[in-house]
């Protein structure tokens, strides 16, 4: 059933959307819109007013990342859902049950970091959390890494890594740019990486799990379509939105991924002798210009995601 979700966005979120949907924008743009793009079975229209309208059967999935992003960028979030109040009530009850259902269990979960950052790698991690780990992780205050500041991430991630089994993959910028040049969009890249770390976890550690959970970024059929050519495919996955709030293994994966990303990001900054900003805003363009001036434009291939529109603004040319 189709639904419509309308989100009010700030300038920073709009810039990030512009980058994220770069390869899926439609040629024709509706009146008063900045662009229109396809996201799975949903169409996003971003208007000049700042309204982002998600329409489709998986509009709730497509919009969830941006709702959380807007909350981080502006400190507040305003959005409306076309579902009637009764449906919302049912959904809230369902989410409440899911929170209880997936918390005190043996689970394998995965999450990624770095997909919205111009500089730095993409990091994907899977973790295995047992029922015996739950109290410890609760006491640590484990939750989605987007809701924990970097200072706390740096403090608790090593403790989590000592307690639970995990598998991580780092996709550096050179490899990312190679993938993207072969027409791999961001969601396909994410799906391939999630599949790899989950397959490694299941087949190397042989965990006794109740669930394998992925924080949903695409419809299930689309996810498996993205990885159909992979030599090894992990199945038996439960896909859900806000998985990091419902399942500790996804939350742990989010935190460990963020920790690794921060360390890799610092290495890049140290190697360049330039403090790198996170995200994909206008402050990123300024540093990008500094890198090009100091090292040449080829250096961007090693430190940045070239398909982001930042590259055009930095090099003052179309890419």
Tell me the domains of the chain and their CATH numbers: 3-81 (3.30.310.10), 105-267 (3.30.420.10), 268-315 (no CATH)
| Nearest to 191, CA basis, from 262, 110, 121, 308 | 110
Phi, psi of 137 (to 5 degrees): -70, -35
**CA-to-CA distance for 50 and 37, rounded, in angstroms?**
15
For the stretch 195-241, pLDDT in tens is 999 999 999 999 999 999 999 999 999 999 999 999 999 999 999 98
pLDDT at 2: 80
**Tokens coding 133:** 């780990």
Q: How far apart are the first and last CA of the chain?
A: 38
75 vs 13, more confident: 13
Query: What's the pLDDT band for 99 if we cut at 50, 70, 90?
Result: low
Strands (E), the chain: 3-8, 33-39, 42-47, 51-56, 78-81, 107-113, 122-129, 165-171, 211-215, 237-240
152 vs 319, more confident: 152
For residue 54, give Cα distances in angstroms to 33, 39, 61, 84, 279: 13, 9, 10, 16, 22
For the stretch 38-93, pLDDT in tens is 998 899 999 999 999 999 988 988 899 899 899 888 888 899 887 655 455 555 55
pLDDT at 319: 52
Mean pLDDT, rounded, for 295-313: 95
DSSP per-residue string spanning 242-299:
THHHH-HHHHHHHHHHHHHHHHHHHHHHHHHTSPPPPSSSHHHHHHHHHHHHHH-GGG
Q: How many CB atoms lie within 10 A of CB 236?
A: 10
For the stretch 241-291, pLDDT in tens is 889 989 999 999 999 999 999 999 999 999 999 999 999 988 999 999 999
Is the pLDDT at 95 greater than 80, yes or no? Answer: no
**CA-to-CA distance for 306 and 118, rounded, in angstroms?**
8
Average pLDDT over all residues of the chain = 91
For the stretch 14-41, pLDDT in tens is 999 999 999 899 999 999 999 999 998 8
| Nearest to 117, CA basis, from 52, 172, 64, 71 | 172
For the stretch 144-201, pLDDT in tens is 667 789 999 999 999 999 999 999 999 999 999 999 878 789 999 999 999 999 999 9
**CA-to-CA distance for 51 and 190, rounded, in angstroms?**
27
pLDDT at 75: 85
Give the rounded distance of the alpha carbon of 103 from its chain centre. 21
pLDDT at 74: 87
Mean pLDDT, rounded, for 96-104: 74
Helix (H, G, I), strand (E, B) or coil at 97: helix
**Exposure b/e, 114-145, CB count within 10 A at least 16 = b:** bbbbbbbbbbbbbbbbbeebbeebeebebbbb
């Amino acid at each position: 059933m189709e639904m419509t979700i309308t989100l009010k966005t700030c300038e920073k979120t709009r810039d990030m959307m512009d980058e994220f949907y770069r390869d899926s924008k439609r040629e024709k743009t509706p009146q008063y819109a900045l662009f229109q793009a396809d996201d799975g079975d949903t169409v996003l229209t971003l208007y000049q007013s700042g309204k982002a309208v998600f329409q489709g059967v998986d509009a709730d999935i497509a919009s969830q990342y941006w709702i959380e992003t807007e909350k981080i960028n502006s400190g507040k979030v305003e959005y409306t859902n076309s579902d009637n109040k009764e449906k919302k009530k049912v959904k809230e009850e369902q989410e409440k049950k899911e929170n209880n259902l997936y918390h005190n269990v043996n689970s394998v979960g995965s999450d990624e970091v770095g997909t919205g950052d111009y500089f730095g790698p993409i990091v994907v991690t899977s973790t295995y959390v047992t029922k015996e780990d739950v109290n410890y992780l609760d006491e640590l205050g484990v939750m989605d890494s987007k809701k924990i500041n970097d200072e706390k991430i740096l403090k608790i991630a090593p403790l989590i890594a000592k307690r639970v089994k995990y598998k991580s993959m780092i996709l550096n910028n050179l490899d990312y740019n190679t993938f993207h040049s072969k027409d791999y969009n961001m969601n396909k890249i994410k799906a391939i990486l999630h599949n790899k770390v989950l397959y490694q976890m299941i087949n190397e550690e042989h965990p006794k799990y109740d669930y394998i959970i992925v924080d949903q970024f695409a419809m299930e059929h689309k996810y498996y379509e993205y990885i159909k050519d992979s030599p090894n495919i992990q199945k038996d996955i439960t896909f859900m939105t806000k998985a990091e709030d419902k399942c500790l293994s996804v939350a742990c994966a989010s935190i460990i991924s963020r920790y690794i990303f921060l360390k890799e990001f610092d290495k890049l900054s140290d190697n360049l002798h330039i403090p790198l900003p996170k995200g994909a805003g206008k402050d990123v363009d300024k540093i990008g210009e500094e890198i090009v001036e100091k090292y040449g434009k080829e250096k961007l291939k090693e430190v940045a995601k070239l398909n982001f529109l930042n590259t055009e603004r930095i090099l003052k040319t179309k890419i």
